Structures are given as C-alpha cells and as structure tokens.
Amino acid sequence: LAAKTTCTNINDPVHGRAYLCEHDEWYKACLLGGATNMTNNWEQLGDLHNVSGNSFEMIVGNGSCDALYHEHVSPDVVPFRCCLR
C-alpha cells in the first residue's frame, strides 16, 4: 500500500513515526471539524479487514462523517491522511 508506506516514511522528532489513520481517529477529527475537506471524497484508512481470505480496505468520508465503505485492496491511489500519536 503506497499510502501506508508514505505515512511510515514520516518520522516526527517529537511524536515519532506517522501511520495511516485508523477509523476512530478519522471519525473523531471529522466530527470536530478540525481537518479540512474530510467529507468531499473517499479517503483510505489504515483499517484492513480479512473476509474469507480477501483483504478489504476501509474508506470513509464521501459526503459525510458517517459514510463508510469496504473495498478490495488495490493499487489505485485513494486520498489518505497520516496520523501521529
């Protein structure tokens, strides 16, 4: 996953290594309205689900904070956000 690699290549001197945001982090930020453009398109999250041997990525945010979808992991570039602890 290019998004995951991009995030883990970010190493903040105070907060450490970045990672692809998880659903709970993204959702809280969306509800608070602190980040920009969180509901104008689908965004990839770090949550992966394995169903019957198939990996699915979680994507969120198309139109609302509650929009949620799972899709097969693919090489397609989907917008994403990196998080720091």
pLDDT tens digits, one per residue of 7-57: 999 999 998 999 999 999 999 999 998 677 888 888 989 887 777 777 788
Q: Which ranges of the chain does DSSP label H, i.e. alpha helix?
A: 2-8, 23-32
Q: What is the pTM of this model?
A: 0.79
Average pLDDT over residues 54-78: 80
Please give the angle made by the CA atoms of 27, 45 and 34, to the nearest 5 degrees. 35
Q: Which pLDDT score, from 0 to 100, does residue 69 have?
A: 85
Summarize the confidence of residues 54-71 as an average pLDDT. Answer: 86
Task: Please report which confidence band the pLDDT of residue 70 belongs to, taking 50, 70 and 90 as the band edges.
Answer: confident
Q: Sheet of 68-72: strands edge to edge? A: 40-51, 54-62, 68-72
The percent helix, strand, coil of the chain (3-state, each to 5) is: 20, 40, 40
User: How much is the average pLDDT of 61-80?
Assistant: 79
